[in-house]
Structure 1
Amino acid sequence: MRTIYIALISLPLIFLASCGQSSKAETEKEKQEEAHGESVEVELTEAQMKAVDIQLGKIEQRALNSIIRVNGEMALDPQKKAEVTSLLGGSIKQILVIEGRYVSAGQAVAYLENTEIVELQKNYLTTKREALIAEQEYRRQKELSRQGAGVEKTLQQATANYEITKAQLAGLEKQLKQISISEEQVSAGNMVTQIPIKAPIAGTISKINISTGSYVDMQTPLMSITDNASIHCDVNVFEKDINRINIGQEVDITLTNQPGVNLKGEIYEINKSFEGDTRAIIAHAKIKGRADVKFIPGMYVTGLINVGKQKADAVPNDAIISNEGKKYIFVLEKEAEREGVKTYHFERVEVITGISELGYTQTTPVTELKKDATIVKSNAFYLGSMSTDHGEHGD
């Protein structure tokens, strides 16, 4: 502040009062600048405005596609992942696959040996013979009864015995089929000592938990299979946005650790309960196309859900500049004329940007603007370069 010394003795009180008011005004200005951040101002003449074609206008209300920012991970439906187990306990005699190999549904992935396998086949042969004898006796007693020579009680016993042995035989045939043993082969006397363990679904072997010679029981997961071809994306939608999402909405997806991979998805299912202790639900999105990208369950993703058009304050893209990671627009503060030269005084105002569409970007000023404020709508980069080159402009 400049101080002017005046010789008149009668003016000291006025001078002190004036200084007090000026100091108070400067203090208020400093407080305001601290609250709103650094104030950057630029002044242009009318000739400069025309030379670089700077156009003025208002912040507009535009119907823009609104988005919700989400994060999540790649996941599989329960039916697209499986644990391989055995229906019998026993020793692993051979492993036919390695991790990372693709297998078809029903393909043998290992062989298991157990003495129960031979015992089961023996029981089948014995029961089959008993069933044949029981059937012959039943038919004989039935024929005698038809001729009036049989005893009713004997027929009833023969019938019951036949039905029991027939049921036992059917049960053993089912057991043989479940462990991939052919009853025709057993009936021909070709008994086996090993059985194949088969893949329940098609997919990739993701983990093997066994080794040759190890003993396994029916509760032991031998290996895991995942069908990554049917992978989808699970994204977390927080409580404030739940009512804005619907099945069928599009999702732009980016793999967090592979920024160059951009995917398109579509929401096909929405959970109806919160996940654990979070205030978020999971929305499931199927991936469209991109067969060239290799997905793995658990990959982290970020996404933008398009929830439809909404009215928002927006400015032309050309009205926004970037500086040190922040976004700004220029607001007309005043017009003046000095010595026949018309000048325009602009202030740089920080804004938070949203979605961009058809040449316009959603903007929210960090500090409240005057109603019907006039802004620079085009070539704002010119003012941006001036503010960067010349720094803060003051009186």
Structure 2
Amino acid sequence: MKNLYILIVSILFLACGDKENNAEPVVDTTTESNMISATKAQFKSENMVLDSLKTLHFQSTIPVTGMIDVPPKNKSSITTFVGGYVSHTPLLVGEEVKKGQLLVSLKNPEYVEIQQNYLEIAEQLNYLKAEYDRQKSLYDEEITSEKNYLKAQSTYKSNLATYNGLRKKLQMMNISPSAVEQGQITSTINLYAPINGNVTKVNVSNGSYVSPNDVIMEIVDIDHIHLELSVFEKDIMHIKKGQNIEFKIPEASEKTFEAEVHLVGTTIDETTRRVKVHGHVDKDLANFIVGMFVEANIITDSKSGIGLPNEAIVSINNNSYVLVLEATTTESYQFKKLNVSVGQKDENYTEILNPEDLKNKQILVKGIGMLMEEPSEE
């Protein structure tokens, strides 16, 4: 009987417990889940900022890379037509030079031989010219044979060609033919700057030998510096002459510089499937160095729109949200999570396509990440 009594009491207790559980009300948390609060202390310590919608300029851009360069006519590689040993090279990398300025002096016994050959031919030429004229006169008067006349003509013209060739070679070596004809023979030749510019490379030192295939030094004129950009094939149809370019030198500065599209290439590199785009740069913007790597955006379109800073928007499950201030208490700020429709986006701002939902609202534009976190992608 005692056991039966205990069993009946237990059954009644369990039945009462189920009844109480079934009677507990279900709370609708839909509204509460859209409300987020932040204490004023938290707001201050995390440097949170409230702001409203702004009218902004949104740009359609094409990101590209390239380098600082100059036109081929503004770059000169200094070489020699006849090899020799460096006897004098006064310049260092970075020095400015003027057109016609001495760059380097070379010595070689071969220079003396060339001048000797020229002088010998020059001396013979006067005699051969006189003999050719005499034979021509005799032939015209039918006093001498055609054979003698043609022989004198051939000898004279052959030596004349040699004379002119050696004369031109001396001029290319910067040796005066007139001075050689006066007996002034030198074992040294000088190389001069063909353009104004700055020395960017020096590949020799005193005593070193240079051959005609060697680049002794390089001069670059930066008066006409430009951007040489590479644009993917899929983007090239959007590039037009006159479009603005914004670019940075990431390794040297965070500053943004401006340029303009000047020429668009008409051929595609078969390996990279890219097209060259030439941009003009104001040389007074910065002290650019030829060869610097650049990251650029070519602006293809621009429009006005209503937007917010990128950091004011959080993406969750492919939806975009902002936090709007709903109420302020003595201790906290109450924010409501609102879904927004976004449009164009640039480096700093995002366009809002439903601005009427946020009109005259205070929006958390800095610090939203502390209150709402985007789910990490696995």
Interval containing the TM-score (normalised by the shorter chain): 0.7 to 0.9
Q: Which residue identity is paired with 2:87?
A: K
**Equivalent residue number for residue 270 of structure 1:** 264
- Distance in 1 separating the partners of 2:170 and 2:350: 68
| Partner SS state of residue 154, structure 2 | helix
Alignment of 1:52-131 (within 5 A): 65-131=59-125
Contact 1:270 1:284 in 2 (8 A): yes
Q: CA deviation at 1:277?
A: 5.1
1:16-49 per-residue CA deviation (whole Å, 9 max, x = no partner) reads 7999xx79x99xx9xxxxxxxx96658xxxxxxx
From 291, 296, 308, the counterpart of 2:284? 291
| Partner SS state of residue 149, structure 1 | coil
- Distance in 2 separating the partners of 1:145 and 1:167: 24
- Distance in 2 separating the partners of 1:355 and 1:377: 22
- Distance in 1 separating the partners of 2:335 and 2:162: 100
| Partner SS state of residue 72, structure 1 | strand
* 1:250 and 2:238 correspond: no
Is the alpha carbon distance of 1:295 and 1:39 closer, same or farther for their aligned partners in structure 2, counting shifts above 3 Å? Answer: farther
**TM-score when scaled to structure 1?**
0.69
Q: Which residue identity is paired with 1:195?
A: I
* 1:303 and 2:285 correspond: no
- Distance in 1 separating the partners of 2:312 and 2:219: 50
**Equivalent residue number for residue 330 of structure 2:** none
Contact 2:257 2:285 in 1 (8 A): no
**Equivalent residue number for residue 179 of structure 2:** 185
- Distance in 2 separating the partners of 1:159 and 1:73: 59
- Distance in 1 separating the partners of 2:189 and 2:314: 65
- Distance in 1 separating the partners of 2:288 and 2:311: 35
Contact 1:41 1:387 in 2 (8 A): no
**TM-score when scaled to structure 2?**
0.72
Is the alpha carbon distance of 1:70 and 1:292 closer, same or farther for their aligned partners in structure 2, counting shifts above 3 Å? Answer: closer
Q: Which residue identity is paired with 2:299?
A: N
Contact 2:343 2:352 in 1 (8 A): yes
Contact 2:112 2:187 in 1 (8 A): yes
From 358, 366, 377, the counterpart of 1:376? 358
From 219, 225, 228, the counterpart of 1:231? 225
Contact 1:253 1:302 in 2 (8 A): yes
Alpha carbon RMSD of aligned pairs, Å?
A: 4.4
Unaligned 5+ runs, structure 2? 1-12, 38-50, 327-333, 373-378
Unaligned 5+ runs, structure 1? 1-6, 30-37, 43-53, 336-342, 366-371
Contact 1:118 1:193 in 2 (8 A): yes
How many pairs does the alignment contain? 335
Q: CA deviation at 1:169?
A: 0.8
Q: Which residue identity is paired with 1:380?
A: Q
Q: CA deviation at 1:269?
A: 2.4
- Distance in 2 separating the partners of 1:385 and 1:124: 83
Q: Percent identity?
A: 26
Alignment of 1:306-317 (within 5 A): 306-309=299-302, 314-316=305-307
Alignment of 1:161-172 (within 5 A): 161-172=155-166
- Distance in 2 separating the partners of 1:275 and 1:364: 39
Q: CA deviation at 1:257?
A: 3.5
* 1:198 and 2:180 correspond: no
Q: CA deviation at 1:377?
A: 3.2
Q: Which runs of 4+ in 1 moved over 6 A?
A: 13-19, 385-389
| Partner SS state of residue 241, structure 2 | coil
1:229-267 per-residue CA deviation (whole Å, 9 max, x = no partner) reads 322112332344222112221112222234454322111
- Distance in 2 separating the partners of 1:230 and 1:344: 56
Is the alpha carbon distance of 1:129 and 1:41 closer, same or farther for their aligned partners in structure 2, counting shifts above 3 Å? Answer: same
Q: Which residue identity is paired with 2:170?
A: L
From 327, 338, 342, the counterpart of 1:347? 338
- Distance in 2 separating the partners of 1:330 and 1:39: 11
| Partner SS state of residue 218, structure 1 | coil
- Distance in 2 separating the partners of 1:41 and 1:185: 94
1:186-212 per-residue CA deviation (whole Å, 9 max, x = no partner) reads 111111110002234332111211111
Q: CA deviation at 1:70?
A: 2.7
Q: Which residue identity is paired with 1:296?
A: I
1:153-209 per-residue CA deviation (whole Å, 9 max, x = no partner) reads 211211121111111111111011000111111111111110002234332111211
1:344-384 per-residue CA deviation (whole Å, 9 max, x = no partner) reads 96526595862599xxx65278xxxxxx6842134534x55
